[in-house]
Amino acid sequence: MYGDFGSDAGNSRRLCWLHNQGLVPYSVAWELQRSLVTQRLRGSGLNDVLILLEHPPVYTLGTGSSLDFLKFDPSQTEWEVHRIERGGEVTYHCPGQLVGYPILNLLHYRQDLHWYLRQLEEVLIQVLAVYGLKGERVVGYTGVWLEGRKVAAIGIKVSRWITMHGFALNVCPDLEGFKSIVPCGISDKPVGSLAEFIPGIEFEQVRKLVASAFSEVFEVELIEPQL
């Protein structure tokens, strides 16, 4: 499925599969990402992929994330918890949060992880701007803030310049689950959502805006697979 769409010779933009999914268990999406990365490590000619989806409630910890940022014992809880290979500390995923997993070959963009992180932030900042909201970066941190509240978290893994994991934008989630952790290890900056600023915001509209902004920021042509 996410193989070579065909030659993009003569096309000024690199081709990228856009795969819109609904509510997907974290372990399923994680395995899909790993499979896509493995394919691309074996064959650099494959097209890039952007997966947009939601997850059921789940906590994830980065490779070096401290358990001190969990307010519960992960060995004695009904919460789903995964330690994964991305950078960053603990975060929470749940319905109403738009999660994006770009599988990009940075050899075709820029071999610079700081540049890549800033590009992901720019995608989300542009989406907020459509609603008249001023998304901001905070020096020393990764993510996007809105009036002092963190509305988007970013954590990535890159193998031989192939990316995985990505961003999570709080559109209209139930934020209660964040109370069980110190989100991203930041104790003095609260988590927020777009719905707090734009009541009645439509999740599917945000999904389309994110895809459009991603296309513009990364200068790719998004192609949806014919199922």
**Residue 188: predicted pLDDT:** 78
Q: Is the pLDDT of residue 185 over 90?
A: no
**Does the predicted TM-score (pTM) go above 0.95?**
no
**Residues assigned a catalytic role:** 184
pLDDT digits (tens, 9 = 90+) for 22-37: 999 999 999 999 999 9
CA distance 126 to 139: 19
CA distance 165 to 178: 20
The Cα-based distances of 136 to 117, 142, 146, 150, 195 in angstroms read 14, 10, 6, 9, 17
Q: At 171, phi and psi to the nearest 5?
A: -85, -65
Sign of the CA dihedral 139, 142, 144, 145? negative
pLDDT digits (tens, 9 = 90+) for 82-98: 999 998 889 999 999 99
103, 143, 148: which is closest to 121 by C-alpha?
A: 143
